């Protein structure tokens, strides 16, 4: 498979390092990361980013003390203490002045009481405060560490059996014999193990090693297909290690094609993302994106940080966050729980990553369309340019791959392509590829 060289920059994870899958024929043709090319605005639908791609919304590196004492949080505490001392000094001065000038005035007061109705503080279950109160005990902070890297991300309770849904790049450091822990909002920490992970989808399932005595109440899952631009959103996670952080926003876009990685040369994961302006930062990865009913519509996975970022650096939120649609994530999670392996729908064609025009171009070599594969059976040939996939206009390899992976094997899809300047339409019955390793 060849890598697209345009669009060049892709949003990075909202979490830490990972290795995404490389699909040989695919439209899971695993384009590797683009390292150059045009600014994102020149590629409609692109996630955008710096030359090396933004960092994930992401695991934050775990400090040497295991994250129990964070220098950043300590700084906040110190600032509060300083502010309290200053306020105390000023308050004392004002109090002395008031006492000296109002000894005989028994009616005046230096305070003002809230005369508003106390009823306004009765937070409805459907308010942000009500939803957060219900959801926070079901959202966890995940710490993963291996021999060479570690990170902090987020996850949420998927079922009553102890399964936690998160991003692959959150758990990747602990995937091969590392240590994985899950901490609930009440501060209790449990050891966990990886049940399965899908690099291409950037989805993973972990399970508590001992769920006895743990109250596991799954977050309700919504229907991401019904998400619409303008819908209210609530994101919960551990940005920069600050667990239990709640932010709000709206759905900014749907079906946003995004290819993301750690910005250090790893292969991409692809999604047809829900875009939100709810503040998502490194450490939010794997956390839920909720709708106004408190149901999960996506897994926060990637951000487009502002300003120039160096490879491996972590930028902050500029209101461009991307979530994996929960309908897709649920299908993948169920496969991982059942078999431990992901299943990818494929067309078994390889794409020409050097192509600069609109659409996704199949490579020119004879092996770019696998004989007997779904693409070949539908009449696709080397050099064809795919311009439409079902109802989605294809403007890049990322768009095509992201849309294919929204489907399931055996789905029939309508594909429009051009050959020698002439448009054609065909129906492709998607095939299947098991696991992340090429087969």
Residues 360, 368: contact at Cβ < 8 Å? Answer: no
**Dihedral sign computed on CA atoms, order 225, 230, 231, 232:** positive
- Report the catalytic residues: 169, 202, 285
């Amino acid at each position: 498979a060849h890598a697209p060289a345009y669009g060049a920059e892709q949003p990075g994870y909202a979490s830490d390092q990972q290795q995404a899958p490389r699909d040989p024929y695919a439209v899971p043709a695993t384009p590797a990361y683009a390292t150059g090319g045009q600014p994102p605005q020149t590629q409609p639908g692109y996630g955008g980013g710096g030359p090396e791609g933004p960092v994930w919304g992401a695991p934050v590196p775990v400090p040497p003390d295991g994250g129990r004492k964070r220098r950043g949080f300590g700084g906040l505490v110190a600032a509060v203490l300083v502010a309290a001392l200053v306020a105390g000094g000023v308050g004392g001065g004002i109090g002395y002045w008031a006492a000296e000038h109002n000894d005989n005035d028994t009616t005046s007061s230096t305070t003002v009481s809230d005369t508003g109705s106390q009823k306004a503080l009765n937070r409805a279950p459907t308010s942000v405060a009500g939803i957060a109160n219900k959801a926070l005990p079901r959202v966890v902070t995940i710490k993963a560490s291996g021999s060479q890297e570690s990170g902090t991300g987020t996850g949420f309770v998927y079922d009553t059996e102890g399964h936690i849904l998160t991003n692959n790049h959150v758990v990747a450091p602990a995937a091969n014999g590392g240590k994985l822990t899950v901490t609930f909002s009440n501060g209790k920490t449990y050891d966990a193990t990886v049940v399965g992970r899908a690099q291409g989808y950037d989805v993973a399932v972990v399970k508590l090693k001992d769920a006895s005595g743990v109250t596991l109440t799954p977050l309700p899952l919504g229907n991401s297909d019904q998400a619409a631009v303008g819908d209210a959103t609530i994101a919960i996670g551990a940005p920069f290690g600050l667990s239990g952080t709640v932010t709000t926003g709206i759905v900014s876009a749907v079906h946003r094609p995004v290819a993301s990685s750690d910005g250090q040369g790893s292969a991409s994961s692809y999604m047809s993302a829900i875009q939100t302006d709810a503040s998502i930062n490194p450490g939010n990865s794997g956390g839920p994106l909720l709708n106004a009913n408190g149901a999960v519509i996506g897994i926060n996975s990637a951000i487009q940080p502002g300003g120039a970022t160096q490879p491996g650096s972590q930028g902050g939120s500029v209101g461009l966050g991307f979530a994996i649609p929960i309908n897709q994530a649920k299908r993948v999670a169920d496969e991982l729980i059942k078999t431990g392996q992901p299943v990818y729908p494929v067309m078994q064609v390889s794409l020409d990553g050097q192509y600069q025009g609109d659409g996704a171009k199949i490579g020119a070599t004879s092996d770019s369309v696998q004989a007997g594969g779904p693409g070949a059976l539908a009449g696709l040939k080397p050099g064809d340019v795919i311009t439409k996939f079902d109802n989605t206009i294809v403007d890049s390899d990322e768009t095509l791959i992201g849309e294919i992976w929204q489907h399931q094997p055996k789905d029939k899809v309508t594909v429009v392509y051009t050959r020698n300047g002439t448009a054609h339409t065909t129906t492709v019955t998607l095939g299947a590829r098991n696991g992340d390793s090429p087969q």
